[in-house]
Amino acid sequence: MILPQDCTTMADVRAGVDDIDRQLAALIGTRFRFMDAAARIKPARGAVRDEWRKAQVIDNAAVNAEANDWPVDAARQLWEHLVEASIGYEFDRFDERGN
């Protein structure tokens, strides 16, 4: 894998971005498997949406972004979308249980 500081062409940059995107997709897939587990474990549909936990996850993302030197606002926006997509997915999986 090429590092950003080693890029000398846009082809290098694009290859690096594509590699990171593949890694992110794999990690996000694993994150959604945890949503499968949550839907299986939670006793009631009303437990799927947890605003306190959502805020905590977004705050954690902001802290992690700052620690890794990338824009906190971008992290908050990305995680807002990720968490909402995860909640929607979890509702779907919960409903498939037939409870």
Asked whether residue 86 is domain-assigned, the answer is: yes
Asked whether residue 76 is domain-assigned, the answer is: yes
Six-digit token pair at 38? 């949550």
Asked whether residue 4 is domain-assigned, the answer is: no
Asked whether residue 3 is domain-assigned, the answer is: no
Tell me the average pLDDT across 19-29.
Answer: 98
Q: What residues have CB less than 8 Å from 97, skipping those under 6 apart? A: 39, 40
CATH code where residue 74 lies: 1.20.59.10
Domain range for 36: 9-96
Q: Is residue 31 a contact partner of residue 69, using CB atoms and an 8 Å limit?
A: no
Q: Which of 41, 42, 83, 36 is nearest to 61 (CA)?
A: 83
Asked whether residue 49 is domain-assigned, the answer is: yes
Check residue 1 and give its pLDDT. 82
Please tell me whether residue 3 adopts helix, strand or coil conformation: coil
Could you give the number of structural domains in the chain? 1
Q: What is the pLDDT of residues 27-81, one digit of tens each?
A: 999 999 999 999 999 999 999 999 999 999 999 999 999 999 999 999 999 999 9
